[in-house]
Each structure stands twice: as C-alpha cells, then as structure tokens.
Chains A and B, each alone.
Chain A
Amino acid sequence: MKSILDILSGIRPEFDFSTSQNYLADGMLDSFDVIALVSDLDREFGIRIEGTEILPENFCNLQAIRNLLGKHGVAA
C-alpha cells in the first residue's frame, strides 16, 4: 500500500512534502490537486471522503491528512 507521502509525491513530484506544515499556503497543492488527492486517498485506502470533509484544513499537512484518514478507520 502506498503511503500518504507517496501519493502526494505522485501528484506533485517537484515538492518535498515531508518538510511543509501548510501545503496550500506554501503553494505545493492547489484546488485541482486537492481533488486529485481526495480521489487517490479514496482509491488507495478504500474509503469515501465526503464533500463536507473537503476543507483546506483537512489537507494542509501530513498530520491533518492522517487525522482525516483516522476518522475513516485508516491508520496511515
């Protein structure tokens, strides 16, 4: 199974996602990328992230994404 960092690097290989605390403010992910990320997380972890969860604060850094996955019973 891919890690969250693998998935992020697959979307935007030019950035190092392990260092940033805010992917959106740092220009590493834009709105199009967030939609791609949601689809990739759904597919990779067999979950369905709801529309109400597609908020910047749920995708702003690695811990936020981990917390979101945790709500769906995924430890990543």
Chain B
Amino acid sequence: MKCVTKIGVLQEAMGQIKRGGPDFSVSFFASASKIEAWIAEGALWLSTCEGALLIHRQDGKLLRVCHVATDQPSLSAALGNLVKERPDQLMVADLVGRPEDIERVTRIYQRQGFARHAQLVRMQRSGTWPATMDGAGNVELARTEDLPELRAFMERWLDPLSEQIPSVAELRAAVASEGVFAVKDDQGLAGILIHETTGQSTALRYWHVVGHRHGQGIGSRLMHAFLARCAASRRVTLWVIAGNVAAIAKYHHYGFSEDGMVDNIMVRQSERVTQ
C-alpha cells in the first residue's frame, strides 16, 4: 500500500491499467479538486496487483474502496488481497453505472464478502424553474458559525454508509459558495439542503428534514429555495435510495425523473463483527 502524495502519481497508476477489453471496470470518479483535498489530508492510498488498482480512502471508521481493473480476475485478486490484509476493517464501495453494466462487478465484490447495503438511483431535471424565492419562507443561507451544528446534524441524521458525509472543510467550502440552505428555529436546525453548482449543472447533495418535523412544509420550502437558486442550471441531478418511495415521489413532483444510473453501495463488515 502506498500513500498518494501527488495527483500525478494517481493518474499514472490509473493509466497503467489496460482498458479496451469487455471486462474493464472503473469505480473511481472523484473530481480533481476532491482528490487534491484528500491528498492534502493524507487520506488517499493505492494498492496494486497485476491488472488492477485499488484506491482507498479512510473516512472516519470506514475505508472507502474504489477500483480500476482490466478484467474480473484481476479485480477479484486485488480485493482478495485487501480483505486479507485488513480483515477487521469496515469497507464501503460505490459501484456506479447502468444496472446491466455493474451486475458482474457487484458479484465480484459479493464473492469477497461485500453485501449490498443499499442501491441509489440517479434522478435528473432539465428545463427551467422561475428564479423566485416565493414558497421558500424562512429558508436562509447557512453561515460559517453554523458549521458545528451542520456537521452534528448530518452525523446524527444521515447514514454514513449510504451518504458520504462531508468533512468540516468541505462544509465550509459549501457554505462559502452559498450552497447550504437551512431552516432554523428555537429548537435548532430543522432541515438542510446542500447543493453544488459547476457551470451549467447543479448537483443536489443532501436534502433532509428532521423526522419529527416532517409534514410542516420545511422540505418544500428548502426545495423551492434550491430550485430558485439553480434556475439557470440546464441540468440538476441527485441520488436517492431506490426504495425510498416517498422521496422519489417528491422528486417526481418537482420535475425530476430517473435517468437509468444506479449506485450499488457495497459494505464489507469487519470480520470481528461478523463472527
């Protein structure tokens, strides 16, 4: 295993994995800015074996695992080595693609002791939305002083296996770019919505209302604020848990539709836990 200290080292290692065959597979899609941030934290590691590269990142107690592999036997061998080296490590892998394209890779992970924890589906919205904050009510932009409460909110209410909870630095950047909406009252944060815009596209990262505050229109106000903010975006995307029928119905209501991409979240429990 080798700690990544420069993005060029990672790019070179990825480039060494021959592609072109029908079994070539990749599950590493991080942007350059994210990669740079992880490198700066010393959180990014590589392990290689013939025909496959594993990229792992320590995320609290989790090890997030991504791969680039020429074929299935190479991926299987690389995962087998990792599991042997770190049997007590809780591992999570996101396998993203069209269901028919990731089925075989999902089976390889399953054979190495990973189980499917959840499946996310991607939804997207094209077209226009009026740039008006009507309907947004008491939604406000989060400020730097809200960071500790925001982070505590996300740690408390979100599933860290299905959602990659942002670090304080990532949250700070999101707040600075006015990407965090919040509804607050005397009981604290009641709901948040975090988004990220790149050029003409916007990604809705998190939309969450505290359980006992559902049915009070908080989610709707957050969504109206968000849609007004990204009115100029030609494409808005999000990921949602496939079985979350209520959330999917709400997204349909706001004009989103499934685009066929899924994310199989594979989890390998520590052997200490499973025994």
Contacts and interface: CB of A to CB of B under 8 A. Distances in A.
Tell me the interface secondary structure of chain B in the complex. Answer: mixed
A35 B26 contact: yes
Nearest to A25: B199
A70 B199 CA distance: 28
Nearest to A52: B15
B11 interface: yes
A46 to B, nearest CB: 12
B85 interface: no
Given A14-B126, A51-B17, A54-B15, A31 B197 contact: no
B201 A27 contact: yes
B143 interface: no
A11 to B, nearest CB: 11
Interface in A25-76: 25-28, 30-32, 35, 38, 42, 48-56
Nearest to B127: A14
Contacts of B16: 51-52
A27 B235 CA distance: 9
Nearest to A26: B199
A28 B201 contact: yes
B86 interface: no
Contacts of A51: 14-19, 68
Contacts of B19: 38, 48-51
B20 A15 contact: no
Contact of A30 (B97, B201, B233): B201
B261 interface: yes
Contacts of A25: 198-199
Interface residues of B, number: 28
Contact of A56 (B32, B96, B126): B32
Interface string B1-23: 00000000001101111111000
Nearest to A29: B201
Interface in A5-26: 12, 14-15, 25-26
B177 to A, nearest CB: 14
Contacts of A12: 235
B35 to A, nearest CB: 11
B171 to A, nearest CB: 21
A48 B21 CA distance: 9
B198 A52 contact: no
Nearest to B16: A51
A32 B200 contact: no
B97 to A, nearest CB: 8
B261 A32 contact: yes
Nearest to B203: A30
A14 B193 CA distance: 25
A53 B12 CA distance: 10
Contacts of A50: 15, 18-20
B126 A27 contact: no
Interface of A: 12, 14-15, 25-28, 30-32, 35, 38, 42, 48-56
Q: Closest 3 interchain pairs by CB?
A: A27-B199, A52-B15, A27-B201
9 contacts: A14-B234, A25-B199, A26-B199, A28-B201, A30-B201, A32-B96, A42-B20, A50-B20, A54-B14
Interface of B: 11-12, 14-20, 26, 29-32, 68, 96-97, 126, 197-202, 233-235, 261
